[in-house]
Amino acid sequence: MSRFRQNVLAVAYREARVMLHDRAFLMALLVQPVIMLGLYGGVISNQPANVPWAVIDRSQTALSRRLVEDVQSTGYFLPPRRVAGYAEARALLRRQSLLAVLIVPGSFRRDAERGHPRVQLLLDGSDPLAAARVGGYVAQVAAAFAVRREPPAAPPDGPPGRAGAIDVRQRFWFNPTLRDRDFFLATIAGMLLTNISLSLTGASLVGEREMGTYEFVLSLPTSALEIVLGKLLPAVAVAYGLLLVALVGSGLCYGFWPAGSWLALFAVTLPFVLASLSVGVLVSTFARTSAQAVFLSTFFILPSFVLSGVGLPYQLMPHGVRELGGLFPLRWYQIASRRIIERGAGFGQVVVPTLMLGLFFAVMLALVRWRMKPRLG
């Protein structure tokens, strides 16, 4: 028994020495808790903040302006944007530039004097939780506004203290029933493609090095760019197959089909997949073993899921963190996919996300070529 214990302790000592000399493992061990504490403690929140909204004030009275000021003073909303009409408001909601639009009718002051003021609130229902909370905040402000602002001129049969209470008529666009399922299904393809892209390419060059075939690849009459693109093409085919499975599965199982152009979705998927794959290849140029490649990929996947907006609208994130999320390809892909799948967009509405993904791929390709060049010299 004593010899058995000594053998176990000897093996444990050896493995501990290996771990202590594995810099990638130690970095993952130390940095991952810091990243998760920062993201889940300081970034992720279900409470709306920095909500972009707009106002259509057809009343143009002191009463309507006070209502807008009261909504703004809650601290949840950014300064309101003035829009001319429904067409402009719908276009801004479709582009995800706004989460809410408050419409004050021209008869608002007269209706308030009669004790029955009404306003309309248009909400982006693609994120059910945020839409419901934003609508609740505006409704609370409207009720408090009536008690504080309106003169006590209640009708004889009206309850005291509630005369003139503002009736907020809410209308949810893009997801009228506020189904949480639609919010997640619209971006499930992006999350799956991010995972598969890093899994396929994160250990690609490392695997060649571990199997002893890396020198053979370098001896071929090919450039670094040709090697990288050759490794990416089969993965692109796999990614498109996975995209079809996600789309068709959502449609057949839940009746949730893309409302916009399928061709536009396929077009924007190409630069996104190439950008994600190139990140995996870049990781493999830094890692020395497959385990290190997996650890380094984790540093990219976790912040990407949190900061991209697939689980929490990026518009509600604080400044600084919101801009940081723009460094991940999934941010731009989820913007494009939500516009196409939920809002019925076409090519014209996803040009900017597509260009940003193409630029990201070009930058990653340049970094990969730079990292591989000394090894090819």
The predicted pLDDT at position 221 comes to: 62
Q: How confident is the model at residue 367 (pLDDT cuts 50, 70, 90)?
A: confident
Residue 27 buriedness (CB in 10 A; 0-12 / 13-18 / 19+):
middle
**155 plus 265 within the same structural domain:** no
Same domain for 238 and 310, yes or no, is yes
- The reply to whether 283 falls in a domain is yes
CATH code of residue 98: 3.40.1710.10
Query: For 273-291, what is the mean pLDDT?
Result: 82
Domain of 89 in residue numbering reads as 53-178
Based on the fold, state whether residues 190 and 233 are members of the same structural domain: yes
Q: Domain tally for the chain? A: 2
Pick from 17-31, 262-276, 332-346: least confident: 17-31
Establish if 24 belongs to a structural domain. Answer: no
91 plus 171 within the same structural domain: yes
Predicted local distance difference test score (pLDDT) of residue 55:
94
Looking at the fold, whether 190 and 142 belong to one and the same domain comes out as no
Secondary element (H or E) of residue 248? helix 224-254
Same domain flag for 248 and 275: yes
Residue 291 placed within a domain: yes
| pLDDT (0 to 100) of residue 265 | 95
Residue 82 has pLDDT above 80, yes or no: yes
pTM for this structure?
0.73
DSSP 8-state assignment for residue 349: G
Please state, in angstroms and rounded to a whole number, the distance separating the CA atoms of residues 366 and 362.
6
Highest mean pLDDT of the ranges 38-52, 151-165, 209-223: 38-52
Residues 217 and 290 both lie in one domain: yes
Residue with tokens 């810091």: 34
Which amino acid, 158?
Answer: G
pLDDT-based confidence at residue 95 (cuts at 50, 70, 90): confident
- Would 105 be classed as within a structural domain? yes
**Domain contains 256:** yes
Q: Which residues make beta-bridge pairs with 119? A: 168
Same domain for 195 and 227? yes
- By the 8 A CB rule, do 331 and 308 touch? yes
Instruction: Output the pLDDT for position 345.
Output: 87
Same domain, 98 and 161: yes
Q: Which of 138, 161, 178 is the last residue of a domain?
A: 178
Residues 336 and 203 in one domain: yes
In-domain check, residue 329: yes
Distance CA 175, CA 178 (A): 5
Query: Residue 30: inside a domain, yes or no?
Result: no
Q: At residue 376, does pLDDT exceed 90?
A: no
Long-range contacts of 95-98 (CB under 8 A, 24+ apart): 95/339, 95/349, 96/124, 96/315, 96/335, 96/338, 96/339, 97/52, 98/52, 98/53, 98/54, 98/124
Backbone phi, psi, residue 247, to 5° = -70, -50
- Say if residue 139 is in the same domain as residue 207: no
Q: Alpha-carbon distance 373 to 225, whole Å? A: 10
Domain final residue, candidates 178, 207, 236: 178
Helices marked H in 124-223: 128-149, 180-185, 188-201, 204-211, 214-219
Whether pLDDT at 24 is above 50: yes
Of 137, 159, 178, which marks where a domain is finished? 178
Compute the C-alpha angle 359/207/15, nearest 5°: 120
Closest among 312, 310, 298, 296 to 42, alpha carbons compared: 312
Same domain, 174 and 199: no
Confidence of residue 158 (pLDDT cuts 50, 70, 90): very low
Give kind and range of the element (H or E) at residue 72.
helix 62-72
Any domain includes 11? no
